[in-house]
Structures are given as C-alpha cells and as structure tokens.
Amino acid sequence: MDWLHNKLWQDGHLSWWIIVGWLANVLFFSRFLVQWYATEKKKRVVVPTAFWWLSLGGSLLFLGYAMFYKHDVVLIFAFAFNWIPYVRNLIIHRRHKLALQNCPSCGKSSAPEAAYCSDCGTRLEKQPVTVA
C-alpha cells in the first residue's frame, strides 16, 4: 500500500489532480458500460443520454487534468474540442424529447413525425413544436 500512498501524497500534500485523473478515467470508462447495458436491454444499438453526460464529464475532467497537472499539450489538444459533439448530442436529444407526441388514448410517446400511435393505432394530431 506504500506505492498508493506515495502516488496520492506528494511532498506531504494530497495530489488532487491524481484523483481527478482517475475520476476522469472512471467516468469515461463507465460510459462504455452504460451504452453496452442499454444496447443489450433493447437488443439494438442504443446510445442513452447518460453516455453523453459521462462523455462530457470525463472529457472535461481529462482536460483539466491535462492543463493544470500534466501540462501536456498533446493531452490538452486531445480533450480541448471533443466536448463539442457531446454538448450538441445532448441538445439534439433534448429537442427530440420535447417534440415527442403523446397519444391521447394510451399516453405512449411517439416520434414527432408519426401520424398514428405505434401502440394503439390512434391518429395523432400534429402539435405545434416549441423548442427551448
């Protein structure tokens, strides 16, 4: 256990950036588990919202680790821009969720472009979409 103590404590101080780096690793790896679980559950390829949140959190922590602890330009460049598609996918997911139509008969959500409920077959009336 001395090796762990020596890695976490440097010059008598707790090295928070080591903890941040490992937390970034855990977040980034857990997105793989979340995506795998969602895909297995639905028996089709699924990328849940949690995947994008974990990607965003992990990459921002890695960016902070690279900038403030490692001072490594290669790592900084690797994580400087990858948050952009993560945020964009979260925005697209939110807009899609807000645009879903609820069936007046059974309450099931249907795609914005659906004319009929996929569960009960009730005709869906197009609602004006307000996107925040």
Burial class of 68 by CB neighbour count within 10 A (0 to 12, 13 to 18, 19+): exposed
CB 106 within 8 A of CB 75: no
CB proximity list for 79: less than 8 A, separation 6 or greater:
59, 60, 62, 63, 66
Q: Where are the domains of the chain?
A: 2-99
The predicted-structure confidence for 76-122, as pLDDT tens digits, reads as follows: 999 999 999 999 999 999 998 888 888 888 888 888 888 888 778 88
How far is 21 from 12, CA to CA, in rounded Å?
19
Is the pTM higher than 0.75?
no
The predicted-structure confidence for 43-81, as pLDDT tens digits, reads as follows: 998 899 999 999 999 999 999 999 999 999 999 999 999
pLDDT of residue 115: 84
